[in-house]
Amino acid sequence: MAGRRSTDWGFPRWRGYGSSREAQAVRMCDRHGCDQAGNCPAPKSPNSPERWYFCERHAAEYNQSWDYFEGLSKEETAARTAEEQRDSSGYRESAFHEWGGSGDGSRSRDEMRALDVLECDAHSEFELIKKAYRRLAKANHPDTNQGDKDAATRFQAIQAAYAVLRSAEDRKNWKGV
């Protein structure tokens, strides 16, 4: 079989596009002495397009104390935050259709914050959420803590958190009908 033909000719192409017989170039980790592949880019300095390429372990070590807003004024920080929120607005809009949420998708970010206010975990049933709401509302009610501004603020936050979770529960039950 000396004259075997390559499979890279004609249509359909029998081998995948982009596949070749040559060895692929692998970029090594930029950390001195590391022999792992450097496939995690990390900026060399804030607001710089230049990048280091680390392995996953060294990228985590490098990013551990990284301050994304270092060297920016308050106005620049606010502008960058607004720009990034604008760029990810599609995810926020998709939450209405419940296919783009945080974590496993069962709870939205607002629901997760509300659960934190009510001191519940992410997988709490609604009955447990009701009990936590009643307990916290009773402890922080303005009538039982007269003159305590902090208790009144906590009570308002507890009421808002419960309203968020109750409407989410109503939506869930309405869809199940």
Query: Which domain covers residue 30, as residue numbers?
Result: 26-71
Region of poorest pLDDT, from 14-18, 114-118, 166-170: 14-18
Q: Which residue, 158, 172, 160, is CA-closest to 107? A: 172
Residue 91 has pLDDT above 80, yes or no: no
Helices (H), the chain: 56-63, 74-87, 89-94, 109-117, 126-140, 149-176
**Is residue 8 one of the residues assigned to a domain?**
no
In a domain, 41, yes or no: yes
Residue 138 domain-assigned? yes
Burial annotation 24-61 (CB, 10 A radius, 16+ → b, else e)? eeeeebbbeeeeeebebebeeeeeeeeebbbbeebbee
What CATH number does residue 168 fall under? Answer: 1.10.287.110
Q: Are residues 54 and 115 in the same domain?
A: no
Residue 138: partners with Cβ closer than 8 Å, 6 or more residues away = 144
The residues with which 53 forms a beta bridge, in sequence order, are 41
Q: Is residue 148 domain-resident?
A: yes
| Residues 138-171 pLDDT 10s | 999 988 888 888 988 999 999 999 999 998 888 8
